[in-house]
Amino acid sequence: MFSRKKILVLLVSILVIAAFLMLGTFSVLAAETIIWKSSGHGPATDPSQIYHDKLCEAITKASGGRLMVKAFVGGSVVPATKEVDGVSEGVLDMCYTCPMYNLDKWKAAGLISSRPGGLPGEALRTWFNYGGGAELMNKMMEGFNVITFPGALSPLPEEVFLHSKVAIRTAADIKGLKIRASGDGGEILNRMDASVVFLPGGELYEAMQRGTIDAFEYSTLASNWDMHFNEISKYVILSPSRAPSDPQCFFVNKQSWEKLPDDLKQLVQDEIDKWTQAQHEFLVYQSILAIDKFKEYGCEVYRLPQEVEVALLEEAKQYYADKAAQEDQIYRDILESMTNYWEAYSKK
């Protein structure tokens, strides 16, 4: 028979061994925890930033804490709209931003992002996911430590043509107007004799108040209502001609991606695919509701006259013909791919 002393020693030994095993388990778990930093491009009220933050939380939860993704608002880690640079340089592991903010690196990014006369939302997402769009974007980004993948792009509904202090009834009304615009749309408005500047979304409210700009383009009706743009512009001018979709895309640092085990790679892709589609659907619905909100507030909401749409699309057609002749092969490859896809898509 065991004496009480022997039993006590045995119990203590068991507890000590169990404690060491638990400490070892916790150490392994701690060692396996991967921490990512991810940034959106907008202020906290921007729905794209909100969905970015939800996505980061969802990945952390779905992974059981193995991959902890810390969310940051635009401008808090790197300058707003420079998120892809932060990812490429390893300051960020991931970001959610507009491809067109990277025209300084890739001229072809303007074809994928808020392109005048380009693909509308559903067509853009299916081209990106199944028509070779993601592969072409990765080819475009060769030489940088950045990748993307199918499911990473949220097309979003058409952008507001302009929020403006003055009405635009003819193409002549654009001449001399101080407009905040970005990407190829900004270049095309410049060619129509507007005075175009670029400002991050978080600076637009104050810029309109100060009179720095007379009008601006930015995102969807739903997003812009949440950002209180009804308070600073009388006219809400609608048209899909300048930006038939307003895509945002997730970009990931190559080294951060390669270090993930395969199951976490799949989890990240699955969660991103789910949340980008959810954001698109949410903003399509909310943009319908936002029309009445702007009207009830006292804004004049109207469709851009056809004369102006035709003038813009003609200018865009010439702009892209000129660019295709000047730019590198990847630019022409993306333009051709999107053109061929739209011809096939529009016949269905």
Please tell me the pTM assigned to this model: 0.84
Q: Cβ(169)–Cβ(177) under 8 Å?
A: no
Q: Which residue has the higher pLDDT, 20 or 266?
A: 266
pLDDT digits (tens, 9 = 90+) for 305-338: 999 999 999 999 999 999 999 999 999 999 999 9
Q: Which pLDDT score is estimated for 347?
A: 86
In a domain, 316, yes or no: yes
Say whether pLDDT at 7 is over 90: no
Please check the confidence at residue 124 and state whether its pLDDT lies above 80. yes
Instruction: Please check whether residues 63 and 87 belong to one and the same domain.
Output: yes
Residues 88 and 226 in one domain: no
Mean pLDDT score of the chain: 92
Tell whether 43 is covered by a domain.
yes
Q: What contacts 335, CB < 8 A, 6 or more positions away?
A: 108, 111, 320, 324
CA-CA distance, 133 to 236, in Å (whole number)?
32
Same domain for 317 and 196 = yes
Tell me how crowded residue 104 is: count the other CB atoms within 10 A of its CB.
9
Say if residue 183 is in the same domain as residue 302: yes
Choose the final residue of a domain: 284, 303, 332: 284
Assigned domain for 23 exists: no
Q: pLDDT value at position 25?
A: 40
What pLDDT was estimated at residue 6? 53
Task: Give the residue, 290 or 15, on which the prediction is more confident.
Answer: 290
Q: Which residue has the higher pLDDT, 11 or 323?
A: 323
- Read off the pLDDT band of 3 (50, 70, 90): low
What pLDDT score was predicted for residue 145? 98
Among 265, 284, 303, where does a domain finish?
Answer: 284
**CATH number assigned to the domain comprising residue 182:** 3.40.190.170
pLDDT at 44: 92
Mean pLDDT of 133-151: 98
In a domain, 142, yes or no: yes
Q: What is the pLDDT of residues 52-92, one digit of tens each?
A: 999 999 999 999 999 999 999 999 999 999 999 999 999 99
- pLDDT, average across residues 106-131: 95
| Pair 280, 295 in one domain | no
Structure confidence at residue 10 as a pLDDT band (50, 70, 90): very low
Are residues 149 and 210 part of one domain?
no
Nearest residue to 141 (alpha-carbon basis) of 96, 107, 189: 107
CA separation for the pair 162, 223 (Å, rounded): 13
Are residue 304 and residue 252 in the same domain, yes or no? no
Tell me if 10 is assigned to some domain: no
Give the percent of the chain with pLDDT over 70: 91
Q: Is the pLDDT of residue 22 over 90?
A: no
Residue 292 lies in a domain: yes
pLDDT at residue 24 is higher than 60? no
- Write down the pLDDT at residue 190: 97
Does the pLDDT value for residue 19 go beyond 50? no
192 shares a domain with 136 = no
What does the pLDDT read at residue 32? 83
How many domains does the chain fold into? 2
Residue type, 190: N
Rg (CA), the chain: 25
Which residues have C-beta within 8 Å of that of residue 132, sequence separation ≥ 6? Answer: 337
Q: Tell whether 83 and 165 lie within a shared domain.
A: no
Tokens of 79: 């300058």
Q: 298 and 205 share a domain?
A: yes
Q: Tell me the residue range of the domain where 208 lies.
A: 160-244+286-321
Which of 260, 284, 308 finishes a domain? 284
Look at residue 5 in the predicted model and tell me its pLDDT. 54
- Same domain as 310, residue 226: yes
Same domain, 209 and 275: no
pLDDT digits (tens, 9 = 90+) for 223-278: 999 999 999 999 999 999 999 998 999 999 999 999 999 999 999 999 999 999 99
Residue 344 lies in a domain: no
Lowest mean pLDDT among 31-35, 79-83, 199-203: 31-35
Residue 202 has pLDDT above 70, yes or no: yes
Residue 114 lies in a domain: no
